[in-house]
Each structure stands twice: as structure tokens, then as C-alpha cells.
């Protein structure tokens, strides 16, 4: 066995031993990065996972790389070595000359010449990658790439074992939701750039506001060189936050004029040097208006007044709706699909779901009302279907199912029209309140026994236009029976 094979063998032993240990996931992955870099005689290694929208990579472990390089900015999946997403191992001999290098200036400052990246597979799809960096230009051998591919597979197994991966992986969001305690708020996506402390109280306040609305954020993710002298960087600018969903950098400021003037000078310089970067300088009133602009309202403002907490963000909802639509598209291939919804709560869910379904379909709506006493209320159909559903495949689309009594009545009514098939897709399942065990074929989220509003759901006619689903403060909810 030559020295190279012995080095790979020792690295495999160490990586496997650590992966099978009770160490936290971050320790396991950092150890794997270190062993891989040393075995390949490289300057550094990073392990990255795709974010839930599969738009950019988050670094979750690294070895040998400076903090400045790790914080250079979000890596866009469509630009930075995009071939990895198709399962290919990618090697770049000279990063300074390759268009797939997203941050060539940062690589030059770090002294990186060559990069090789292996995809991390999981259940038939690529969820991330491991990258090796070298200072000298290098053509990686077949033995090198075979070694890195094997390390990537070991990392995949480690991620599968860890509950963190179950949260990060969007395809398993339904399973994760059911495992959470119903009385707890779902955890926010974690990030290696979440700080233990902030530089200023305003930053902490802004982070809490983003967390309330469940908007993904990175803290000080990238430093931009603004001036050089004798080949060295003498001035840098590091924005406070990056919001991947909006592709927006945020720099917070106080009302102190000297600070505002200096930050404005740096922002002008940054925009001149990096015209593609979207960045804003905000004070407190500015960022509240920014959130309102993107449909989140403002904490304590009119649109979200009385909100106790956000249960599911707009991004989480869209991710789940898209996953449901893929399942529906697969299951109804070759069938005559009709979506049926009950006005008005289902309108947002129905609209988004039908846009993501890749099959021809028809849509129809019903309307119902309740009558009788609170103890003996009954359902009345005030608007029936406009077209016949006989011999068609009907998918009943619901915003929320709780007791199941209303849904059971509507399903009996639809079944009397002799459809070829009849199934149910609901965005929310409040199973804890179930009185009638109605069949649910597609479920978005299971929720606790709390009053939720937003995304079409209302309370006394309000809150339907919120882009998220939130829980109202108990003291604002009047006694109201609803099946």
C-alpha cells in the first residue's frame, strides 16, 4: 500500500469512527472535513447543504478556511458549480479563470487555485456537497475523486441519522411536523451563521422580528473589500444581515448622524464596486416599512394586530404546497382531474396548488352555511357545483379540517354525483379535534388545537390577506363554534 492509499485508509477509519460516535452533528462534520482535507493534502474543506428552496448553499462545517472566506456570501446553486446538482463530481483547475467561480476575488485573497466538489446524495436527490480547496493548481486523480465521493456518502449517512437533517430536508417536512409536540412552535431553520450575540441591540431586535415572521436570515454573511493599498485590503464593509428569500443585504443604523454619513459613504462605494448586490441601509422605522412592503405587515401593526406568533411562514407554505402539487400531479397522471373547494377560506391554497399541478384540470367551488343552535348546528349548501363531476376524478381541497363533520357532509354530497374517484387534500389538519374519522389523502401540516388565521383563513372576516399562517392571542378570540 503506497502512502496515498494509506492516507485514504486512515481518513476513512477516522471519519467512520466519528460518524458512529455520539458527538453532535457539527463536530462529526467538522472532523470529516478535517480528515478529508488532510488526506488530500489540501488547504481546506467545506461541507454545504442546499437551503429548502434549493436556491443557495449553507456552509454547515469547514476546515482550514478563514472566517472572512466562509462569510463571503451565499453560494447560489445555479451559479456555483451547478453541475453538482445533477450528481456530477466537478473539478476546477484554475478558479480565477472559470465562470462557475462565484467569488473569484475572495478565492484570490484566500490563495485558492483549484477546487473539487462531490455531491452529497440522499434518497435519489442531491442535498448538498463537499468541496476541497488547494493552493497550488491541481489535476485531481481518479483515486482522489473516488475518495471524496465515498466521504460524501458517509456524510449523507451522518445527516440521515441526525434530527437536524430531518428539519433541513424539505421533502420530510410533514414527518417532522408530526413528530413535534403540538403545543410547541416549529423550530426555525438553523444556520451556521446564527450568532451567540449581536453587535448592537437593534440587530437583536431585527433578528427577533425576522424570526417572528419566520423569514430566513444570515448574520454578517459576507465582507466586501472597498479599498486596497499595495495589494492589501485596507477597508472592508460587512452588512449586518442577508435575507436569502429576498436576495437582500441589510445594514442597520441608529439616528446618530455621523454613523449614518459614514455608512452611506461605504454603501455608495459598495454599489460602485458591486452593482449586482442589492443592499439597503435601514433604521427601525425603515425595516418595519420594508416588511410591510413584502406583505408581512409590522409587529403590532394593523395587518398583523393581535398575532401571538407565526406558525408557518409564507416560504414554508409555498414549499409544502409545491410538494403536495407534485404528489397530486404524479397520482392523477392520465386522469380527468377536478379540484373542488369550499369558499372562502380555501381560495389562497386552491390558487397556489392549482398553479403547481402540472396536469390539465378543471376547478369548481361550493359555498355552505351553518344553521341551528350552537349545540345542534347543521350544514346547508348555498352554492352547489356549476358543472357535472360524474365519471371524473374529484380532489376535494380544504383549507383546514378539524371535527370532520362539515367535510363528511360535503363528501357524502359529492359522492352522490357519481365521480370516478373522490379524495381529499387539506392544507391544515387539526386532528386533535376530530369527531368523525374522514379520510385525508394529502395533508400539508398537522396543527395544535389553536385558532389560526392567514393565507385565506379568517377571524370575523379579517386576516385572510396575511401571507403566513399565525396563531391569534387567546384573549382576542371570542367564543365561536365552528365545525
Active site residues: 402
- Residue 441 contacts by C-beta under 8 Å, 6 or more apart in sequence? 423, 424, 425
Give CA 278 to chain center in angstroms.
Answer: 20
Distance CA 369, CA 375 (A): 15
Grid cell of 173 as nine digits? 417536512
State phi, psi for 413 to the nearest 5 degrees: -65, -45
Grid cell of 139 as nine digits? 489535476
Q: Is the peptide bond before 344 cis (omega within 30 degrees of 0)?
A: yes
Q: How many alpha carbons fall within 13 Å on the CB side of residue 188?
A: 19
Distance CA 284, CA 116 (A): 43
Distance CA 92, CA 238 (A): 28
In the block, residue with C-alpha cell 357532509 = 409
State phi, psi for 429 to the nearest 5 degrees: -125, 105
For residue 57, give the nearest of 68, 46, 49 by alpha carbon.
Answer: 49
Give CA 122 to chain center in angstroms.
Answer: 17
For residue 382, give the nearest of 396, 366, 398 by alpha carbon.
Answer: 366
Distance CA 77, CA 464 (A): 34
Q: 107: part of which helix (H) or strand (E)?
A: helix 104-110
State phi, psi for 407 to the nearest 5 degrees: -60, -40
State phi, psi for 334 to the nearest 5 degrees: 80, 5
Distance CA 274, CA 252 (A): 19
- Residue 71 contacts by C-beta under 8 Å, 6 or more apart in sequence? 193, 220, 221, 222, 223, 238
Distance CA 253, CA 56 (A): 27
The strand order across the sheet containing 90-92 reads 75-76, 56-63, 44-50, 125-134, 114-122, 90-92
Rg, Å, the chain Cα set: 26
- Residue 298 contacts by C-beta under 8 Å, 6 or more apart in sequence? 288, 289, 291, 292, 304
Distance CA 175, CA 425 (A): 17
For residue 398, give the nearest of 463, 464, 329, 344 by alpha carbon.
Answer: 344
Amino acid at each position: 500500500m503506497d502512502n496515498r492509499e494509506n492516507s485514504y485508509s486512515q481518513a476513512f477509519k477516522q471519519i467512520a469512527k466519528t460518524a458512529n460516535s455520539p458527538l453532535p452533528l457539527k463536530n462529526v462534520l467538522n472532523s470529516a472535513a478535517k480528515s478529508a482535507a488532510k488526506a488530500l493534502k489540501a488547504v481546506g474543506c467545506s461541507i454545504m447543504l442546499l437551503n429548502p428552496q434549493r436556491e443557495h448553499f449553507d456552509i454547515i462545517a469547514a476546515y482550514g478556511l478563514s472566517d472572512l472566506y466562509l462569510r463571503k456570501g451565499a453560494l447560489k446553486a445555479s451559479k456555483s458549480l451547478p453541475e453538482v446538482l445533477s450528481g456530477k463530481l466537478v473539478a476546477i483547475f484554475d478558479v480565477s479563470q472559470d465562470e462557475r467561480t462565484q467569488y473569484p476575488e475572495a478565492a484570490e485573497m484566500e490563495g485558492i487555485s483549484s477546487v473539487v466538489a462531490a455531491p452529497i446524495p440522499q434518497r435519489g436527490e442531491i442535498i448538498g456537497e463537499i468541496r476541497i480547496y488547494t493552493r497550488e493548481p491541481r489535476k485531481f486523480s481518479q483515486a482522489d475523486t473516488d475518495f471524496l465521493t465515498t466521504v460524501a456518502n458517509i456524510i449523507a449517512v451522518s445527516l440521515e441519522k441526525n434530527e437536524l437533517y430531518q428539519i433541513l430536508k424539505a421533502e420530510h417536512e410533514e414527518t417532522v411536523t408530526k413528530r413535534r409536540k403540538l403545543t410547541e412552535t416549529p423550530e426555525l431553520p438553523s444556520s451556521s451563521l446564527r450568532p451567540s450575540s449581536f453587535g448592537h441591540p437593534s440587530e437583536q431586535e431585527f433578528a427577533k422580528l425576522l424570526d417572528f415572521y419566520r423569514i430566513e436570515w444570515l448574520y454578517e454573511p459576507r465582507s466586501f473589500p472597498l479599498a486596497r493599498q499595495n495589494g492589501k485590503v485596507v477597508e472592508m464593509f460587512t452588512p449586518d444581515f442577508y435575507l436569502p428569500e429576498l436576495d437582500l443585504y441589510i445594514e442597520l443604523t441608529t439616528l446618530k448622524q455621523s454613523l449614518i454619513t459614514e455608512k452611506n459613504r461605504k454603501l455608495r462605494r459598495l454599489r460602485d464596486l458591486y452593482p449586482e448586490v442589492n443592499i439597503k441601509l435601514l433604521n427601525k422605522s425603515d425595516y418595519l416599512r420594508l416588511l410591510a412592503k413584502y406583505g408581512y405587515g409590522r409587529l403590532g401593526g394593523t395587518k398583523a394586530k393581535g398575532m401571538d406568533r407565526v406558525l408557518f411562514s409564507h416560504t414554508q407554505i409555498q414549499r409544502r404546497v409545491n410538494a403536495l402539487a407534485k404528489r397530486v400531479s404524479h397520482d392523477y397522471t392520465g386522469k380527468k382531474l377536478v379540484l373542488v373547494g369550499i369558499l372562502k377560506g380555501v381560495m389562497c391554497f386552491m390558487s397556489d396548488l392549482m398553479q403547481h399541478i402540472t396536469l390539465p384540470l378543471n376547478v369548481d367551488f361550493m359555498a355552505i352555511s351553518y344553521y341551528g343552535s350552537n349545540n345542534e348546528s347543521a350544514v346547508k349548501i348555498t352554492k352547489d357545483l356549476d358543472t357535472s363531476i360524474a365519471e371524473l376524478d374529484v380532489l376535494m381541497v380544504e383549507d383546514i379540517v378539524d371535527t370532520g363533520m362539515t367535510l363528511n357532509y360535503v363528501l357524502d354530497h359529492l359522492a352522490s354525483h357519481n365521480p370516478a374517484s373522490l379524495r381529499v387534500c387539506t392544507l391544515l389538519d387539526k386532528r386533535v379535534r376530530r369527531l368523525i374519522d374522514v379520510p385525508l389523502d394529502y395533508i400539508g401540516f398537522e396543527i395544535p388545537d389553536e385558532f389560526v388565521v392567514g393565507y385565506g383563513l379568517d377571524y370575523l372576516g379579517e386576516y385572510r390577506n396575511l401571507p403566513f399562517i399565525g396563531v391569534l392571542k387567546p384573549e382576542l378570540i371570542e367564543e365561536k363554534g365552528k365545525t
